[in-house]
Structure 1
């Protein structure tokens, strides 16, 4: 039986350990200007997609982020970030091709139990890699900003520092000590998925609660429900939606239908093609155009997220 990849978990307000690795472990940052450009794109993503960055570390061939999801799923934001940075770097280096290795990794973290430890783990990455002896000596992580030695307006530090005291100076000193206390720790597999569910890091009760909540929200809609929804959005009837021809409005509606069917796990493209008498390659190209447009347009990406939300609430 073929292995089936589990769908991503979207929990608004949830804390995620996100990892992006270079294709074949090759470098993704070659000069300080590359990291500065990545900062800019990350900051733009906060505004466009509503997530927060609590910690980060940019190594030469991979990066770690501690992100708090907003109402929109992280997928749109991370896909946009990877696409735009790849486009920037390929243009600068005058090359083509993939930069990152497959899909980004994202692990939902029990923030109360493991949030602080995750921030420490991310900021100590250069120490574990023996690049520096002190985390503050590494220029491309959030640690220096937490100590007040660097100004990164897009980095959210309030939650972490708030765990160490109400006075900023005291909180920074305690945070500094907390991070230093972890310097002897090595690689921690716990931050790369739990045993109960590889997508979640947390205690048993937390995992059960997340899966129960997700099961309620993720009931896959039927194809009929999706057709009804898309027809309502485009003010078409089913006959108009499925009519032969290349009229713009029905074509756009069919593309959205194909995209929604895959995103909501309602049906594979083969099923849609058989039911509606369409060629599977046509539906696949239509769905790909939707995804390409969403990567280039934050407005369109937000519209897609609204469609997914509306379907989930139906």
Structure 2
């Protein structure tokens, strides 16, 4: 059964859980966690999302993330990919570090974000690692108490719900005896969202989910071909010309980041090996990190996909300039 797409709209808040593959540890020392902090900060600067709370455990991570226009899938794929690169390089390992698809639950922030933040901050106490949450250095709780500064952490909304720091701390302490809360893991709607019927209806309306599901593989391939000035036959050829190879990698990257599309279907459509397409997508993502021209081309194709009117424009053969 195909997986359902995540509900995305600007302003959406998610509880994200990223677990180590087969339960393996993802952090071994302070340097590992500091590197993850660095990548979290870099992500907020690049993708303009907000992190309201976090907790880095030994073999999994909790985040409360609020997105803008860029969907959570791109944010998390970038974060997981870059940290895995660091981890494998440092420990001379290969392969996946994180367990399959990360868990992300859309949250009704008005009714659940405060309790979610408390639930995240109390992870170390529930696990018996510390007796008081402020004793654990790898969550956002200490920053909320003013004991450390994390410029990339968004604290204004949550702290604005309390008259002072003492009220905030009392709220956290009131939940110390609280156990596992299933609703923060499975939600109330198809395992995708936590909120009442009205919130779900509004979220689906804002996400325009039916329109998003209409994105077809053919439309994506056409957009990529137009951006590169190629025909579909050229994309499906055995040519290793750089422009054609890059176009294939770009198509694969979009498929990987579009939850209703599958790499196996792309491979069948353009007569390419699925493993090769996946590897090409990963290499291209690395190049996009440091190549502004490639990122502009990525944005151009993204714009064509989200604005069907652009499909009638003749590609200029060069990158689109944005003011």
**TM-score, normalized by length of structure 1?**
0.85
Shift in alpha-carbon separation, 1:189–1:248, aligned structure 2, 3 A: same
Shift in alpha-carbon separation, 1:296–1:192, aligned structure 2, 3 A: farther
Count matched residues.
304
Task: Specify the alignment match of 2:282 in structure 1.
Answer: 291
**In structure 1, distance between residues paired with 2:245 and 2:93:** 34
Task: Specify the alignment match of 2:29 in structure 1.
Answer: 31
Which consecutive aligned stretches of 4+ in structure 1 deviate over 6 angstroms post-superposition? none
Where 2:65 maps in the other structure, the secondary structure is: strand
**In structure 1, distance between residues paired with 2:84 and 2:236:** 37
Q: How do 1:254-269 residues align onto structure 2 when only pairs under 5 Å count?
A: 254-260=248-254, 263-264=257-258, 268=262
Task: Specify the alignment match of 2:230 in structure 1.
Answer: 236
Shift in alpha-carbon separation, 1:305–1:179, aligned structure 2, 3 A: farther
Residue 252 of structure 1 pairs with residue 250 of structure 2:
no
Q: How do 1:110-121 residues align onto structure 2 when only pairs under 5 Å count?
A: 110-121=108-119
Task: Specify the alignment match of 1:42 in structure 2.
Answer: 40
Shift in alpha-carbon separation, 1:182–1:5, aligned structure 2, 3 A: same
Where 2:93 maps in the other structure, the secondary structure is: coil
Where structure 1 has 5 or more consecutive residues not aligned to the other structure, the ranges are none
Contact 2:227 2:297 in 1 (8 A): no
Residue 161 of structure 1 pairs with residue 154 of structure 2:
no
**In structure 1, distance between residues paired with 2:254 and 2:90:** 35
Shift in alpha-carbon separation, 1:68–1:306, aligned structure 2, 3 A: farther
Moved more, 227-236 or 197-206: 227-236
RMSD: 2.7
Q: How do 1:194-209 residues align onto structure 2 when only pairs under 5 Å count?
A: 194-209=187-202
**In structure 2, distance between residues paired with 1:104 and 1:215:** 20
Where 2:14 maps in the other structure, the secondary structure is: strand
**In structure 2, distance between residues paired with 1:120 and 1:105:** 19
Shift of 1:222: 3.9
Shift of 1:158: 0.6
- The superposition leaves residues 134-172 of structure 1 with CA deviations (integer Å, 9 ceiling, x where unpaired) of 11111111111101111112111111111224xxxx2x2
Where structure 2 has 5 or more consecutive residues not aligned to the other structure, the ranges are 309-323
Task: Specify the alignment match of 2:52 in structure 1.
Answer: 54
Task: Specify the alignment match of 1:215 in structure 2.
Answer: 209
Shift of 1:120: 0.7
Moved more, 262-271 or 33-42: 262-271
**TM-score, normalized by length of structure 2?**
0.83
Contact 1:127 1:134 in 2 (8 A): yes
Shift in alpha-carbon separation, 1:125–1:248, aligned structure 2, 3 A: same
Q: How do 1:69-148 residues align onto structure 2 when only pairs under 5 Å count?
A: 69-148=67-146
Moved more, 24-33 or 293-302: 293-302
Pick from 145, 167, 170 the counterpart of residue 174 of structure 1: 167
Q: How do 1:267-286 residues align onto structure 2 when only pairs under 5 Å count?
A: 268=262, 278=271, 280-281=272-273, 285-286=276-277
